[in-house]
Structure 1
Amino acid sequence: MSESTQNNVKKDEIENLIDRAILGDKKSLEILLLDVQDLVFNLSLRMLGTVQDAEDASQEIMIRVITHLSTFRKESSFSTWVFRIAYNHLQNYKKSMFSKQHLSFEYYGADIKNGKSKDIPDLSQNVETSIIEEELKYSCTNVMLQCLDVESRCIFILGTMFKLNSKVAADILDISSEAYRQRLSRIRKKMASFLDEYCGLGVCQCKKRINYAIVNHRINPKNLEYSSLEKDDDNTIFKFKSAMEEAENFSTVFSRLPSYYSSEKLKKFLIDFLQSDCYSIIKNL
């Protein structure tokens, strides 16, 4: 079976699931939701910067997918449609930590420089340094994204991390493919300039910032959020994507970041919701 035939079969299967879900088939709806939950969680994590905010926003996005499913016209792939719902929700999300504490590259750059202070005692609480360093690296890169405005952040995430082609990404953002490519190029250069100045051309300096990050409550050795997430080492959630051109060398700082399976909190929420009276009410609206 050719790849294009496999894709068509997958598309037909999804459309059949959607049709059955709209008619009230709970099992079909569950399959659809579980198929896109990792996509939603990873986009939310990069857009909002913290695991907790990503979990909360993902729950709200999945409810929107459920309540708007009957409006899906099959003019794009289901995953593209979900991306669009997620972006529309995230660009106006006011409950995240960074929506209340706006960051700039200037502010974050100064923080990186100050974070190498040597007079802070060891606060690692006997947690292995390499584990805390990895936690800080993942936290830092997600926080760094918050220095971009919302649209620029999403453009960079879709292009550099999810590697969507320009047509699909532009469709999600409701802009032209040419505008998307131009903006992505400018944003890459802006991010490259920051990394060149503060991160030594992408050479991670996180080990020197561990105790500073702990004392400022950036990370907690007793609650390592990223370490508790299950990594999707095969990147299976991104197999639907089309490849795009190779990014500049600096972008490997972001493109090599792991994707994650949805947290158990989100999975449990979806299963519990489908069994709840709330789902029955929504289904009958």
Structure 2
Amino acid sequence: MKKINEEMTELIDKAVAGDKESLELLIKNIQDMVFNLSLRMLGTFSDAEDAAQDILFKVVTHLSSFRKESSFSTWVFRIASNHLTNYKKHMFAQFPLSFEFYGDDIENADTQDIPDLTQNVENSILAEELKMSCTNVMLQCLDPESRCIFILGTMFKLDSRIAGDILGISPENYRKRFSRIRRKMADFLSQYCGEYGLGKCKCRDRVNYAIQNHRINPSQLDFTAAAVISVEQMIEVKNAMEEIDDLSQQFSFCKCYESTDKVKQYFEDFLNSTVTNTVMEAHRRKL
């Protein structure tokens, strides 16, 4: 871990000093982390792409303000969390969800007598897409800060000290809130979800209903098409983990994904633009 920290510090110093290759490598090291946090916080790939670009731009333009008082990933998480908890342009900010609405939809939706809308895509593929989409969208039933607490603890497995530092709350407060939120999520899954709990909802039986209500699109399967990666590939977390209970393990189905081509292309274009030269020159002047 010490070697990794030293290498990261050297990379940051070179990037701030104006080395474009170091800046590019630095962004590549964090872009998947930023994209996955954005995806879980906002619910859709398109919104996550836009927000991830905004966050990475903030990281680049504020890089010289990083004082190395925390790890670089903690600093990036803080920027990303602040941006995402206040982000108002995503779909679910305009059309908020609640557990009550979600539960009522599961219990009372008429899923019968719907024509085949699968466009010759296998039902198993569409059911998996729906499962990934549903578990992601379910997070939108939480308020933004609770959502962030839950994601940092379950997907990124950050311990309470680091997560509390990111969110500006005490480790004790973080642990209490995280426990309550996990229980709320677990209770909902247990009551309604037939994939991970004892509920009646089975993805394979709701595929056509989901297509009819524009929840999945057979011609654009974002989750199915995305490249899955491990948490270890996304961020170094071994020294940031604490003991997690069986309840946390229920949420291990939340997969991690590689940044989309749109996010990668945005930063390739950005790094080759005159804006980058201006930003790098501003960093050098602050040294």
TM-score class, shorter:
over 0.9
Residue from 99, 102, 121 that aligns with 1:127: 121
Q: Relative to structure 1, is the Cα distance of residues 103 and 154 closer, same or farther in structure 2, using a 3 angstrom cutoff? A: same
Q: 1:224 to 1:200 in 2, by over 3 A?
A: closer
Q: 1:243 aligns with which of 241, 244, 251?
A: 241
Match of 1:84 in 2: 78
Cα contact 2:156–2:237 (8 A) shared by 1: no
Matched, 1:269 2:266: yes
What is the deviation of 1:94?
A: 0.9
Q: Which moved more, 1:120-129 or 1:33-42?
A: 120-129
For residues 14 and 266 of structure 1, the distance between their equivalents in structure 2, rounded to whole angstroms, comes to 22
Query: Are 1:91 and 1:150, in contact at CA under 8 Å, matched by a contact in 2?
Result: yes
Question: Residue 3 of structure 1 corresponds to which residue in structure 2?
Answer: none
1:51-70, aligned counterparts within 5 Å?
Answer: 51-70=45-64
Which of 92, 95, 104 matches 1:98? 92
Question: TM-score normalized by structure 2?
Answer: 0.93
CA contact (8 A) 1:116 1:209 kept: no
Secondary structure at the counterpart of residue 47 of structure 2: helix
Q: TM-score scaled to structure 1, two decimals? A: 0.93
Q: What is the CA–CA distance in structure 1 between the aligned matches of 2:147 and 2:245, rounded to whole Å? A: 16
Task: Please state if 1:230 is matched with 2:227.
Answer: yes
Q: Which residue of 2 aligns with 1:196?
A: 190
Q: Name 2:213's counterpart in structure 1.
A: 216
Q: Which runs of 5+ in 2 are unaligned?
A: 283-287
Q: Distance in 2 between matches of 1:67 and 1:162?
A: 25
**C-alpha separation in 2, matches of 1:199 and 1:74:** 44
One-letter code aligned to 2:85: Q
SS at match of 2:115: coil
Aligned in 2, Cα 1:77/1:234: closer, same or farther, shift over 3 Å?
Answer: closer
Query: Partners of 2:276 and 2:66 in 1: how far apart?
Result: 19
Q: Is the 8 A contact 2:30 2:235 kept in 1?
A: no
The total of aligned residue pairs comes to 278
Question: Quick one: structure 1 residues 176 and 233, their matched pair in 2 at CA, closer, same or farther if it must change by over 3 Å?
Answer: closer
TM-aligned CA distance change 1:116 to 1:239, over 3 Å: farther
SS at match of 1:146: helix
Does the 8 Å contact 1:156/1:184 carry over to 2? yes
Q: Is the 8 A contact 1:135 1:226 kept in 2?
A: yes
> CA contact under 8 A between 1:22 and 1:70: conserved in structure 2?
yes
Distance 1:58 1:234, change over 3 A: closer
Counterparts of 1:149 and 1:188 in 2: how far apart (Å)?
13
2:163 counterpart of 1:169: yes
Which runs of at least 4 in structure 1 moved beyond 4 Å after TM superposition?
none
Q: Report the Cα offset of residue 114 of structure 1.
A: 3.5
Q: Deviations over 1:83-114 (max 9, x none)?
A: 11000100110110001111110011112224
* Secondary structure class of the residue paired with 1:103: coil
CA RMSD of aligned residues (A): 1.5
SS in 2 for 1:226: helix
